[in-house]
Structure 1
Amino acid sequence: MRKVSEAVQAIIEANPALQFGLHHRLLNLSQVARFICPLVEARVHKSVQPSAVLMSLSRLQRRWENQQPALQRRFRVDRINVQGGLCALTLPKQLATLRELAELFGRVQQEGGYLTLTEGVSEVTVILEQRHMALIPQVLHVIPRRVYRNLAGLGVKFQERYLETPGLLYQLLQQLALQNINVVEVASTTTEFNIYLDDRDVQLAFDSIYNRFVREVS
Structure 2
Amino acid sequence: MKTIASCVEEIILTQPFIEEGLSKNIINYSALAEHIQPLIEKRLHKTVKTGAIMMALRRYNPPIHASNSVKMQRILKNLGDITVRSNLSDFTFQNSPTLIRSHAKILDLITIDRSIFYAFTRGILESNIIISSSEKEKVIASFTNETQLDIQENLSAISINLPHDNSTVPGLYYQLFKRLAWEGIALHEVVSTTNEFTILVKDFLVDRAFSVIKNLKNEASS
- CA RMSD across the alignment: 3.7
The reply to whether residue 178 of structure 1 matches residue 179 of structure 2 is no
| 2:84 match | 82
The reply to whether residue 149 of structure 1 matches residue 153 of structure 2 is yes
TM-score with structure 2 setting the length: 0.73
| 1:193 match | 197
What displacement does 1:217 show? 1.8
Q: Secondary structure at the match of 1:95?
A: coil
What displacement does 1:208 show? 1.2
Pick from 109, 114, 118 the counterpart of residue 115 of structure 1. Answer: 118
Asked if 2 retains the 8 angstrom alpha-carbon contact of 1:103 and 1:139, the reply is: yes
The reply to whether residue 50 of structure 1 matches residue 31 of structure 2 is no
| 2:95 match | 93
CA distance in 1, matches of 2:180, 2:58: 33
What displacement does 1:111 show? 2.3
**How has the CA–CA distance of structure 1 residues 102 and 8 changed in structure 2, closer, same or farther, with 3 Å as cutoff?**
farther
What displacement does 1:95 show? 1.5
Q: Deviations over 1:75-128 (max 9, x none)?
A: 332221101111000000111122201221232112222210111111101000
TM-score with structure 1 setting the length: 0.74
**How has the CA–CA distance of structure 1 residues 31 and 193 changed in structure 2, closer, same or farther, with 3 Å as cutoff?**
farther
CA distance in 2, matches of 1:177, 1:137: 33
Q: Deviations over 1:147-191 (max 9, x none)?
A: 111111000122133312222112212222222222111100112
CA distance in 2, matches of 1:8, 1:168: 23
| 1:21 match | 22
**How has the CA–CA distance of structure 1 residues 142 and 156 changed in structure 2, closer, same or farther, with 3 Å as cutoff?**
same
Structure 1: runs of 5 or more not aligned: 38-48
Asked if 2 retains the 8 angstrom alpha-carbon contact of 1:81 and 1:154, the reply is: yes
Amino acid at match of 1:162: N
**How has the CA–CA distance of structure 1 residues 59 and 182 changed in structure 2, closer, same or farther, with 3 Å as cutoff?**
same
Pick from 210, 214, 218 the counterpart of residue 215 of structure 1. Answer: 218
Q: Secondary structure at the match of 1:163?
A: helix
Amino acid at match of 1:105: L
Percent identity of equivalent pairs? 21
Amino acid at match of 1:161: D
Q: Secondary structure at the match of 1:205?
A: helix
Amino acid at match of 1:50: R
CA distance in 2, matches of 1:63, 1:206: 37
Q: Deviations over 1:24-63 (max 9, x none)?
A: 464524656888x9xxxxxxxxxxx6348x99x8776454
